[in-house]
Amino acid sequence: MQSLLHRLGWAALAATLVSGSAFAGDAAKGKVAFVKNGCYQCHGFVGQGGAGAKLAPKPLPLEAMVSFVRSTNRQMPPYSEQILSNNDLDDIHAYLESIPVGPDPKSIPLLNP
Ligand code: HEC
C-alpha cells in the first residue's frame, strides 16, 4: 500500500513536470495579481506603460523582473515577498509574456497612405 501511494505520488509529480505547471506561471492568475497588487496603476492594464515603464510585450526575463521588483529603490516601491509572493510574481510574468506583440505599423494600409 505504501509503495502504491509512493508510486502515485511520483506519477503526479511527473505529470506536473511534463505539463510544465510546476515552473511556469499562470497567465490568468497573473492578470488578477497584476490588478490586485496595483501594478496596473503605473504600468497600464496590459503593461503598456504610463507613469511606470512599459512591461509588455516582451517582458524582462523572469529572474531580472523578480530581482527588480524585490529591490528597486527608485520611483517604483519595492514589493517584498510578504506583500507579493514568488508564485504571484511568476504568474504576473506569465501574464506579461502572454500579451501579444502588436502588428507592424508598416503592415497597416491606413497608416501608410
Ligand atoms: C507607483 C507606481 C508603480 C507601481 C504601483 C508599480 N510600478 Fe513597476 N515601475 C514603476 C516605475 C516608475 C518604473 C521605472 C523604474 C523606476 O523609476 O523605478 C517601474 C519599473 C518596473 C520594471 C522594470 C522595467 C524595465 O524594463 O526596467 C518592472 C519589471 C516593474 N516595474 C514591474 C512592476 C510590477 C510587477 C508591479 C506590481 C507588483 C509594479 N511594477 C508596480 C512604477 C510602478
Q: In angstroms, what is the span from residue 39 Cα to ligand 1's centroid?
A: 7
Looking at the 3D structure of the chain, how many domains does it have?
1
Does the residue 1 lie in any domain? Answer: no
Does the residue 106 lie in any domain? Answer: no
Q: In angstroms, what is the span from residue 10 Cα to ligand 1's centroid?
A: 39
**Mean pLDDT estimate for the chain:** 87
Does the residue 82 lie in any domain? Answer: yes
Question: pTM surpassing 0.75?
Answer: yes
The tens digit of pLDDT for each residue in 4-22 reads 556 656 555 555 445 444 4
- The share of the chain scoring above pLDDT 90, in percent, equals 78
Instruction: Give the CATH number of the domain where residue 32 resides.
Output: 1.10.760.10
Residue 23's pLDDT is what? 60
Question: Is the pLDDT reported for residue 107 higher than 50?
Answer: yes
Q: What angle do CA 108, 47, 110 make, to 5 degrees?
A: 10
Task: Give the domain range for residue 81.
Answer: 24-101
Does the residue 19 lie in any domain? Answer: no
Measured by CA distance, the residue closest to atom 34 of ligand 1 is 39
Does the residue 47 lie in any domain? Answer: yes
